[in-house]
A and B are shown apart, each in its own frame.
Chain A
């Protein structure tokens, strides 16, 4: 809501500067988001009168004007605007003036004719964007007066942000009421008096409300003998200040009264209404209307319309129809001040994608008892400014039940909720000036009657908010609640995620965060069976539509982005939820937390002391080995995940369940995500193995006797999994063989084709000193076993 500092003073005295006022309003819950002068500095610009115009002797498009600038004298000004004419009152910038655009006005010669200034357009003065021609001012302005004084431009506009629960503050009077509460002053309401004709409007028109649930109140007035013309300049300037365009006196008055009272008004051209009457009803099938903006609107049957005897004339509370608008020929006006159900206006406005100053107010729910006051105020102004003759009375169709909201306010409750004592007289003063009826019921209990414009106030807590809002939140002390017996803590999953994050950072991975929704074809892009994902009804983009089944797409997107930005190394992890639900979705889907890992590019950052090599499968497996607890039995098996390279992938099982898959990403998937080179990725289903990460390590006694180490190199078939050699050795070696470590795998050179050499280090340990013979015996047994099981030959 744009609020003019000067206009506001019609309704309340303001002892503060605009800046102080803005600060006070903000601290009372009406946030002032901006503060700007109504017009730029216009020193040197005056009201002038064009006495005479003659064509420029040398240029077709220029006119030489003789302009009277009152006490400043007469000036000869060359003007290029097509609309300049003798008899106009205009804004004249005299030599020495500097216009908002930076243009300096001086006496110049234009094609041989001296020009002593400039006749200005609205845009040249910074008043509006309009630069079609010069700004023709009303003729009643005093010639020679500075323009700023003549137009009352010396004003400041406050941009007030009004919360959804305060439609009453979408009006000058509403804001003024708040100001009065803050200053301790009182509110002045504008005049609503006018003369009436001896004829009742009921003889001339009728209103039928067929949908009272959507239109709780419809108030109509009828005004005749109207002289359409421009509204006075002060009203035009106020409308502009509020961000609206002046049209003509009737339309301007309806807008002005809406800005003043918060009650939207609509003026129908009485003579354009079939049978001169109105019907308030919902739309019929396939009904349509051409609205004021020239657009044809298809209507649906839940939309409320104001119709004449034939068809729709207005979409209730939103916008009028083109064919019943007030024009230059209008003589008689049927004036609507109605109340429409907020939800209905809101829904229609959303459906049509059409909003207006009117709908913005209705959809928040305005005071249903405000229709009469606004109607009378408009009639007053129409009589003053458009010579209207007002038929006596109103038609006032009301379905409103008399509702008196009275709330008990307990002093003790004020203190209990706020933790501070507010003086009793302040409580009474604040509520009274905001329009509440305050009656003391007991020593510390009031009965508070809520005014009809404050539909948002329903409970004692709402009253307490009013009190502290005006009294000042800055008066609250800072205290802490008393300690409770409980200590802080978090869930197992949160603990696990926190510790995993530390481990992953420790092995050189950085944390990524991707959107939980992605492309609907992400399963296809991962070569997975196309299980449908949950899809948003109203996505903001096709790339952000389906709830993810896997963390891989987000991480692969990150690789693609970094690759395209010339990064050499991507090592990322993400901890987050994936979403699975039965479609069509009837209940909340399962949200499972996963850990995703992705590796791409260089293993190490470029460094003189580090070998430059690309990440490979074993980097990924090493990371998994590092972050999964070593003290727990896990089964590392082969995998068959369609997103991964068929020969380069594995799974991890815990307690018979697959908790992770990992490997090189399938080249087709890599291409789908537009990534150059090879990518390695893993995904762990944390939900299935939280207890795994909580396993407590158990200490085993350090050996007291020296260990014996024996190295072993065997040649086996190239395809022979080394893991099988190790487990065989462990089995054959018995309990004295404590560990087997692979330290070299080699093919080529002296090794026959199709074979590889595997070097293993075996460590023996006992609770006594081992003798060479027994170790040799075990090693022989192991070798024989490897030979018979795998055809291994010793090198």
Chain B
């Protein structure tokens, strides 16, 4: 009987190794270990043995059973892994196909520049404020030291509704509206739409400006320069330099234009900066004492600086846009480039 058990063991292990599928393996299990299986049959025949031999034989059969069970389990794992491997290989996808497209919309480049600028000045404690686009002559000109028939009115071709009402040609009237309502210290940033009767590759009848104004005791031209230096570095990168050139605005004295080192060539000269190494980006100056007096501030007590940035100009420089009209055409091929 021992011999028979040994043969069953050998046959079972052989069958186990030969089984090619989980199905076959189950058949092996039934054939050898099932209720009518060969090993069970052998165990049933144990009654024919000597009573002393029975425990030893029983132990032997149990060991064989355990061994076969272990082999079955082992083989089952193997087969399962093989089968899974086969199934996974059959499920292989073409990962070179593009993903199922998710569309995220894009932010208009003008808004991007405004938001970026807002972020820079919010950190410096500026309040973001707005003012009306349809303005009174008083706020757009008079209060800014530009009386009727002043030659500076020719600097801006203004759209009019009536003699008194116009589309603001600059965001500067917001300065006056804020100062009329508030005592110093003032620290504001006013982005918004402005309008001038001009239309070509670099001029649009509607465009955007960002006005900045700081009024307090002891505000100096050096503060203005430092503030704009910081702005230029944040907007165009920490290597950016600025240069102030004297200029003329009726509502600032002294006034200056601000150039940044060319963001394309870094200052060595290229087509974008007309080989000067510099790009003009904004106008600024110390608030004219007459403007401060008009809103009831004492120019001997407080001083202030103001600056005005052309948003489209910044956007065109920063993103390399060559025609301002593209900004208001809403061609989706243009708009959808401003991702991220």
Residues of A within 8 A of B (CB): 26-29, 31, 163-166, 342-343, 346-347, 363-365, 416-420, 459-462, 464-465, 468-469, 473-474, 476-484, 486-491, 493-494, 498, 501, 504-517, 534-541, 544, 547, 554-555, 557-558, 561-562, 565, 567, 569-573, 576-577, 579, 581, 584-585, 588-589, 591, 604-605, 607-610
Interface residues of B in 224-248 (CB under 8 A from A): 225-227, 229-230, 243-248
The answer for the CA separation of A28 and B244 in the assembled complex, in Å, is: 10
- Per-residue A-contact encoding for B184-220, CB less than 8 Å = 1, 0 else: 0101000001010111000001100000001010111
User: For B220, what are the chain A residues with a Cβ–Cβ distance below 8 Å?
Assistant: 416-420, 479
- Per-residue A-contact encoding for B90-117, CB less than 8 Å = 1, 0 else: 0000000111111111111011000100
Q: Which 7 A-B residue pairings sit nearest by Cβ, starting from the closest?
A: A419-B220, A29-B246, A419-B222, A343-B149, A465-B254, A558-B330, A488-B122
User: For A561, what are the chain B residues with a Cβ–Cβ distance below 8 Å?
Assistant: 329-331
- Per-residue A-contact encoding for B238-280, CB less than 8 Å = 1, 0 else: 0000011111101001111100000000000000000000000
User: For A494, what are the chain B residues with a Cβ–Cβ distance below 8 Å?
Assistant: 128, 130
The answer for the CA separation of A507 and B106 in the assembled complex, in Å, is: 11
Chain B, residue nearest A483 (CB): B125
Chain A, residue nearest B158 (CB): A538
User: For A571, what are the chain B residues with a Cβ–Cβ distance below 8 Å?
Assistant: 103, 105
Partner of A488, one of B124, B225, B248: B124
Contacts A29-B248, A465-B255, A469-B246 given; does A481 touch B132 at CB 8 Å: no
**Residue contact B159 to A536, C-beta cutoff 8 Å:** yes
Contacts A512-B330, A609-B100 given; does A28 touch B246 at CB 8 Å: yes
User: For B329, what are the chain A residues with a Cβ–Cβ distance below 8 Å?
Assistant: 558, 561
User: For A459, what are the chain B residues with a Cβ–Cβ distance below 8 Å?
Assistant: 253, 288-290
Instruction: Indicate if B318 sits at the interface (CB-CB under 8 A).
Output: no
**Residue contact A418 to B222, C-beta cutoff 8 Å:** yes
Beyond the given A164-B152, A365-B151, A417-B303, please list 18 additional residue pairs across the A-B interface where CB-CB is below 8 A: A165-B152, A346-B149, A416-B303, A459-B290, A468-B246, A481-B227, A487-B125, A491-B128, A517-B205, A540-B198, A558-B330, A561-B331, A565-B331, A571-B103, A579-B134, A604-B101, A608-B98, A609-B99
**Residue contact B133 to A491, C-beta cutoff 8 Å:** no
**Residue contact A539 to B221, C-beta cutoff 8 Å:** no
**Residue contact A164 to B248, C-beta cutoff 8 Å:** yes
Instruction: Indicate if B5 sits at the interface (CB-CB under 8 A).
Output: no
Contacts A479-B220, A589-B134 given; does A490 touch B118 at CB 8 Å: yes
The answer for the CA separation of A512 and B132 in the assembled complex, in Å, is: 21
Interface residues of B in 320-340 (CB under 8 A from A): 327-333, 335-336
**Residue contact A498 to B218, C-beta cutoff 8 Å:** no
The answer for the CA separation of A534 and B133 in the assembled complex, in Å, is: 13
Task: Say which one of B10-18, B30-38, B46-54, B160-168 lies at the interface with A.
Answer: B160-168
Chain A, residue nearest B248 (CB): A163
A309 → chain B closest CB, angstroms: 32
The answer for the CA separation of A537 and B330 in the assembled complex, in Å, is: 27
User: For B248, what are the chain A residues with a Cβ–Cβ distance below 8 Å?
Assistant: 29, 163-166
Chain B, residue nearest A166 (CB): B248
The answer for the CA separation of A462 and B103 in the assembled complex, in Å, is: 56
B170 → chain A closest CB, angstroms: 15
Chain A, residue nearest B191 (CB): A494
User: For B108, what are the chain A residues with a Cβ–Cβ distance below 8 Å?
Assistant: 510-513
**Residue contact B130 to A461, C-beta cutoff 8 Å:** no
Partner of B332, one of A29, A363, A476, A510: A510
Chain A, residue nearest B154 (CB): A164
**Residue contact A468 to B254, C-beta cutoff 8 Å:** yes
How many contacts between A and B, using CB within 8 angstroms? 269
Q: How large is the interface on B (under 10, 10 to 19, 20 to 34, 35 or more residues)?
A: 35 or more
User: For B104, what are the chain A residues with a Cβ–Cβ distance below 8 Å?
Assistant: 505-506, 508
Partner of B221, one of A474, A476, A493, A577: A476
Instruction: Indicate if B178 sits at the interface (CB-CB under 8 A).
Output: no
A601 → chain B closest CB, angstroms: 10
**Residue contact A478 to B225, C-beta cutoff 8 Å:** yes
The answer for the CA separation of A395 and B333 in the assembled complex, in Å, is: 70
Instruction: Indicate if B77 sits at the interface (CB-CB under 8 A).
Output: no
A750 → chain B closest CB, angstroms: 33
**Residue contact A607 to B118, C-beta cutoff 8 Å:** no
User: For A363, what are the chain B residues with a Cβ–Cβ distance below 8 Å?
Assistant: 151
B321 → chain A closest CB, angstroms: 13
- Per-residue A-contact encoding for B59-102, CB less than 8 Å = 1, 0 else: 00000000000000000000000000000000000000111111
Instruction: Indicate if B123 sits at the interface (CB-CB under 8 A).
Output: yes
User: For A464, what are the chain B residues with a Cβ–Cβ distance below 8 Å?
Assistant: 253-254
**Interface residues of B, dominant DSSP:** mixed
The answer for the CA separation of A569 and B248 in the assembled complex, in Å, is: 48
User: For A474, what are the chain B residues with a Cβ–Cβ distance below 8 Å?
Assistant: 243-244
The answer for the CA separation of A604 and B103 in the assembled complex, in Å, is: 8
**Residue contact A461 to B97, C-beta cutoff 8 Å:** no
Chain A, residue nearest B129 (CB): A491
**Residue contact B221 to A418, C-beta cutoff 8 Å:** yes
The answer for the CA separation of A203 and B179 in the assembled complex, in Å, is: 61
The answer for the CA separation of A571 and B100 in the assembled complex, in Å, is: 18
Partner of B100, one of A476, A505, A565, A610: A610
User: For A544, what are the chain B residues with a Cβ–Cβ distance below 8 Å?
Assistant: 205
User: For A480, what are the chain B residues with a Cβ–Cβ distance below 8 Å?
Assistant: 124, 223, 226-227, 230
Partner of B149, one of A347, A489, A490, A513: A347
A113 → chain B closest CB, angstroms: 48
The answer for the CA separation of A363 and B246 in the assembled complex, in Å, is: 22
Partner of A572, one of B128, B218, B250, B330: B330
Chain A, residue nearest B336 (CB): A510
Instruction: Indicate if B297 sits at the interface (CB-CB under 8 A).
Output: no
The answer for the CA separation of A666 and B100 in the assembled complex, in Å, is: 33
**Residue contact B187 to A26, C-beta cutoff 8 Å:** no
Partner of A562, one of B97, B161, B332: B332
The answer for the CA separation of A136 and B216 in the assembled complex, in Å, is: 67
Chain B, residue nearest A30 (CB): B246
Would you mind naming 25 contact pairs between A and B with Cβ atoms under 8 Å apart?
A31-B245, A165-B152, A343-B148, A346-B151, A419-B220, A419-B222, A459-B289, A460-B289, A461-B254, A461-B288, A476-B221, A479-B220, A481-B216, A481-B223, A481-B227, A487-B125, A488-B127, A488-B128, A490-B118, A516-B195, A538-B197, A579-B133, A588-B136, A607-B101, A609-B97
**Residue contact A509 to B105, C-beta cutoff 8 Å:** yes
**Residue contact A488 to B330, C-beta cutoff 8 Å:** no
Partner of B105, one of A31, A165, A479, A504: A504
Contacts A473-B256, A478-B222 given; does A490 touch B105 at CB 8 Å: no
A413 → chain B closest CB, angstroms: 8
Partner of B121, one of A477, A488, A576, A588: A488
User: For B331, what are the chain A residues with a Cβ–Cβ distance below 8 Å?
Assistant: 561-562, 565, 567
The answer for the CA separation of A509 and B115 in the assembled complex, in Å, is: 18
**Residue contact A567 to B125, C-beta cutoff 8 Å:** no
- Per-residue A-contact encoding for B282-308, CB less than 8 Å = 1, 0 else: 000010111000000000000100000
The answer for the CA separation of A497 and B328 in the assembled complex, in Å, is: 19
User: For A493, what are the chain B residues with a Cβ–Cβ distance below 8 Å?
Assistant: 130
Contacts A29-B247, A165-B152, A540-B197 given; does A577 touch B229 at CB 8 Å: no
**Residue contact A508 to B105, C-beta cutoff 8 Å:** yes
User: For A489, what are the chain B residues with a Cβ–Cβ distance below 8 Å?
Assistant: 122, 127-128
**Residue contact A479 to B130, C-beta cutoff 8 Å:** no
User: For B187, what are the chain A residues with a Cβ–Cβ distance below 8 Å?
Assistant: 484, 486
**Residue contact A547 to B125, C-beta cutoff 8 Å:** no
The answer for the CA separation of A420 and B215 in the assembled complex, in Å, is: 18
* Residue picked from A342, A478, A494, most chain B C-beta under 10 Å: A478
Instruction: Indicate if B126 sits at the interface (CB-CB under 8 A).
Output: yes
**Residue contact A577 to B286, C-beta cutoff 8 Å:** no
Partner of A513, one of B97, B121, B330: B330
**Residue contact B127 to A490, C-beta cutoff 8 Å:** yes
The answer for the CA separation of A109 and B102 in the assembled complex, in Å, is: 76
User: For A605, what are the chain B residues with a Cβ–Cβ distance below 8 Å?
Assistant: 101, 103
Chain A, residue nearest B218 (CB): A416
Contacts A488-B127, A591-B132 given; does A607 touch B100 at CB 8 Å: yes
The answer for the CA separation of A427 and B155 in the assembled complex, in Å, is: 31
